[in-house]
Amino acid sequence: MATVEGTMGAAGKPDATTAGLTNSGRLRAIIAGSAGNLIEWYDFYVYAFTALYFSSEFFPKSDPIVQIMATSGIFAVGFLMRPIGGWYFGRFADRRGRQAAMVFSVLLMGAGSLLIAVLPTYAQVGVLAPAALLIGRMIQGFSTGGQYGTAATYLSEIAGKGRRGFWASFQYVTLIGGQLLATLVVLVLQQVLPEEAMKSYGWRIAFILGAVGAGTILLFRHHMHETLSGKDRHEHAGSLKELLTKNGRAFLTVMALSAAGGLAFYTFTTYMQKYLVLTAGMTKEAATLVMTGALVVFMIQQPLMGLLSDKIGRKNNIIVWGALGALTTAPILMALANVQSAWMAFLLVVAGLTFNSFYTAISGVYKAELFPVHVRTLGVGLAYGVGNALFGGTAENVALAFKSAGNESFFYWYVTAFLAMALAVAFTLPDSRKDNVLDQIKV
């Protein structure tokens, strides 16, 4: 493991981990890693929050639900690229270091955002427009697959013993912050631009801002204290064979919990804005306001739930999440379908997000605690990417397919079934308060 006592890098120079780390240095490293995460997730989520405006520009001559399904399909394709990104960047981070992998993934995300921002429409180039949109989204999905595993590993390793749940929760603080920032940008654009302007060019502004933000990661990279030592960069580092043959159970556990966690999370976040418009009958502006307020509350909950996990253990957090989710998801969604006011919608969405926060706050650290250092980023990123690609990224399409078939309530029970499965898996987890491999790190 990485220690302050001394390991030598490949070039014969001390690793970054040998320099020691003060409390202020640790805080700067966490802020730097979190900033990159925020930028990454803003770029990823701005697609979901602007899809209501640009869907007709790329998929014309269809009814509104079909247009949303088409853009949601491309949203799902972004998720299908996550396992590939998780494998590539996981191998990269386990062999060459966490810092380089994080910077590379954020810059790549910015390139995908810039491409989407300047795309011609269907009216201008025909089928090339949705094809190019697909390419831009694939780049973003590939990047996100790498960022999640790398950020989860880095923040878990840099956090330090005793407060690991608290500090690692800032991965989701900034993930939600990215969502919130995307929502706020859309809200501001809605206030200053008319509907037609939003459809014509307003959504492009949001993507341009994301591309510019990605470039700022270069300003933070020097504060990212490397946690991977030279001796950990051996021939088995980042090995897929090593991961699956020696850590197969951990991989399947993370994949199962990521599937349920991603499905529940995207149901109450990215899909929820569309649900409030298409099912509850709210205006786009009202739905955006509801989601903005709900995401603020959700973001604040993350450090609190992280602290709780430091006291009761990650396993117990996940058990509470699975139990509450299985019991409350269907009733909350049923109530939202018939909601009469924005305030009641806000309270119901917050209720759904609250039970999810038991999981999201620790979704990175519990994964990192299951894998040894030399395949940790690969294990976290790839297992998460597969679970999310299959079920998190398809949440919107499954929900809309049920709605189109006139059986929208089936989706509620679909989510509930996965949460019940997660509850069963949670009982097999080790207690993070005992023999935690991350506690051996002395950065």
363 versus 442: the higher-pLDDT residue is: 363
| Domains in the chain, number | 1
Percent above pLDDT 90 for the chain: 47
Cβ atoms of 17 and 7 within 8 Å: the answer is yes
Does any domain span residue 380? yes
Does any domain span residue 9? no
| Residues ≥6 apart with Cβ < 8 Å to 132 | 115, 119, 120
Residue 209 has pLDDT above 80, yes or no: yes
**Which DSSP category does 335 fall into?**
H
pLDDT tens digit string along 255-266?
999 999 999 999
Does any domain span residue 226? no
C-alpha span between 314 and 392 (Å, rounded): 21
pLDDT tens digit string along 286-316?
998 898 899 899 999 999 999 999 999 999 9
User: Residue 11: what pLDDT?
Assistant: 34
User: Residue 16: what pLDDT?
Assistant: 44
Residue 194 has pLDDT above 80, yes or no: yes
User: Residue 3: what pLDDT?
Assistant: 35
Using the CB atoms, write b or e for 341-371: b if 16+ within 10 Å: ebeebbbbbbbbbbbbbbbbbbbbbbbbbbb
Does any domain span residue 409? yes
Does any domain span residue 84? yes
pLDDT tens digit string along 327-360?
999 999 999 999 989 999 999 999 999 999 999 9
Give the pair of three-digit tokens for residue 169: 């929760």
pLDDT tens digit string along 357-390?
999 999 999 999 999 988 999 999 999 989 988 8
* Domain limits for position 292: 21-220+242-433
Strand-pairing partners, residue 8, are: 14
326 versus 214: the higher-pLDDT residue is: 326
The confidence band for 140, taking pLDDT boundaries of 50, 70 and 90, is confident
Q: What are the contacts of 311-314 at 24+ separation with CB within 8 A?
A: 313/431, 313/432, 313/433, 314/165, 314/362, 314/365, 314/366, 314/369, 314/429, 314/432
For 247, the 3-state DSSP assignment is coil
How buried is residue 338: exposed, middle or buried, by Cβ count under 10 Å (0-12/13-18/19+)? exposed
The confidence band for 130, taking pLDDT boundaries of 50, 70 and 90, is confident
Mean pLDDT of 428-442: 78
pLDDT tens digit string along 146-155?
888 898 898 8
The confidence band for 65, taking pLDDT boundaries of 50, 70 and 90, is low
C-alpha span between 368 and 349 (Å, rounded): 29
The confidence band for 396, taking pLDDT boundaries of 50, 70 and 90, is confident
C-alpha span between 139 and 109 (Å, rounded): 7
Residue 125 has pLDDT above 80, yes or no: yes
User: Residue 392: what pLDDT?
Assistant: 84
C-alpha span between 236 and 234 (Å, rounded): 6
Neighbours of 248 (CB within 10 A): 10
Does any domain span residue 10? no
Does any domain span residue 31? yes
Mean pLDDT of 229-247: 80
Mean pLDDT of all residues in the chain?
85
Does any domain span residue 141? yes
> CATH number of the domain that 124 lies in?
1.20.1250.20
Q: Which pTM value belongs to this model?
A: 0.83
Residue 441 has pLDDT above 80, yes or no: no
Neighbours of 191 (CB within 10 A): 8
The confidence band for 2, taking pLDDT boundaries of 50, 70 and 90, is very low
Neighbours of 126 (CB within 10 A): 11
